[in-house]
Amino acid sequence: MRRISVALSALALAGLMSGCSTVYRSPAVKAGVSDAGKVRVVAVTPETVLVANRAAYQPKTLPAVFQISAGSGAGASPRGLGRLPDAPSTQDGSRQGLRLDPPPAVDPGPYTIGTGDVVVLSTPSTQGTVAELSGLLAAQNSRNGYTVQDDGSINIPDVGRVRIAGLTVDEAEALLFQRLVESQIDPTFSLEISEFNSRRVSIGGAVGQPGVYPITLTPLTLGEALAAAGSVSVADIDTSSVRIYRDGTMYQIPLEDLYARSELQRLKLLADDSVFVDTDYDLGRAERYFAQQIQLQQTTLAGRRAAIDELTAALTLRRADLDEQRENFSQALELDAVDRDYVYLSGEVRTQGRYTLPFGRKATLADALFDTGGGIAKETGDASEVYVLRASDDIREFGAVTAWHLDVRNAAHLPLAARFELRPDDIVFVAENPVTRWGRTINQITPSLITAPINAVAD
């Protein structure tokens, strides 16, 4: 029996020796010169991270179609009220009793921005209201501002369309502040209205300058409106009156009462009011004037509705085109038909393979190790030997490799991984720990210890 045991031991040793040539040799990073080229190992420290990050690299970007919205470059010019129709001719009439029937006193509330208004984004610099805002908010037209278009929006470069119609100046300023912050633009600005075009009052009849006059941040009173129109010009104050058409109702203020009572002069006018100074008691001339104003407003509203429909159709088509381009790119991305930059994970990581560098930004060593659910394999990896292998771009150093070595046994070194920027074709390598290397060797030797004696006995 002793002879058989000795024989079996000898046979096992022989099998072991014969199987040694097949034992797995794990990879390792070794400094020096080899057949593959020159390898230089550099410890990762705050100083060497700065050196490594100096390597020139411009991340690939998404196609421009992902950076624009359907509203960029689109829009329609606002339709104004147009030319005011000529007022009916002045005629004299006989004196008849004029009844005072003023419109009710109303509070128009704070001014809200509307279609046709021109707003300016101004900085607190000495350059005035047309100064630049981070180089992006310079005025886009000859009036040095942004016109509120038919859909109630303004179009700001690199921000897109922002709907501000119906908002007060403070509310619009707060909304623009939020949109600028979201677009990573310095939001130091103030909002001003440089042209008031959305709220108007038409004035005709016996005035010096018939026309359409704007309502601004300060409410427009009847006395101010008549003064702006060149004041009243009548021959007989007793037969003259101011007639106001508002929301389908005609009101009347005799001129004698208007001049005698200051509260009538302070009546606040509302948007779309029509004021007519009539020298006759007969309402016919005023009615014709108001009918012209109503027809003009209806024509303007119809034009605006057509413009909005046109704009909506154009935006829908543009949005569909952008969606199709984005979908085509996404499909090409899924089919791996888009040129991308990669980093490769090797050694004792949980998932070996390639890590795709993102669009538009630089990735770090921490991204590659942890963003994909990989990380160092805790059972087999050696936390003291984490490397980033980077080949030299200099043709004179062909084959030269720099191995940036990071020891993360001390978790305080992990922030360095979050600062170390990766470059295309970098290889992230984690060496195996000594116990793993020994265990794998034993696993390969064990079959030889078993099978070698059996084969020998069989022979």
Dump pLDDT digits (tens) for 1-46.
Answer: 444 444 444 444 444 444 444 555 677 777 777 666 788 899 999 9
Select from 179, 154, 178, 177 the least CA-distant residue to 164: 154
- d(CA 258, CA 5) in angstroms, rounded, equals 132
pLDDT tens-digit map of 173-206: 899 888 888 888 777 778 889 889 889 998 888 8
Instruction: Check residue 289 and give its pLDDT.
Output: 63
* Residue 433 CB contacts under 8 Å (≥ 6 apart), including other chains: 348, 380, 381, 382
* Residue 233 CB contacts under 8 Å (≥ 6 apart), including other chains: 206, 207, 208
Beta-strand relationship, 342-347 and 427-432: parallel
**Residue 254: phi, psi to the nearest 5?**
-60, 140
- d(CA 194, CA 183) in angstroms, rounded, equals 25
pTM listed for this prediction: 0.44
| DSSP category for residue 78 | P
Report the share of the chain in percent with pLDDT over 90: 17
Does domain 76-103+199-335 sit in CATH 1.20.1090.10? no
Residue with tokens 């008549």: 226
Give span(s): CATH 3.30.1950.10, the chain: 112-195
- As a whole number, the mean pLDDT across the chain is 76
Give span(s): CATH 3.10.560.10, the chain: 26-60+340-450, 76-103+199-335
The residue type of 192 is: E
Instruction: Look up residue 213 and give its two tokens.
Output: 């006059």
The CATH code for residues 112-195 is 3.30.1950.10
- Domain 26-60+340-450: CATH superfamily, name plus number: Outer membrane lipoprotein wza domain like (3.10.560.10)
Instruction: Look up residue 198 and give its two tokens.
Output: 């959305």
Instruction: Look up residue 215 and give its two tokens.
Output: 């309502």
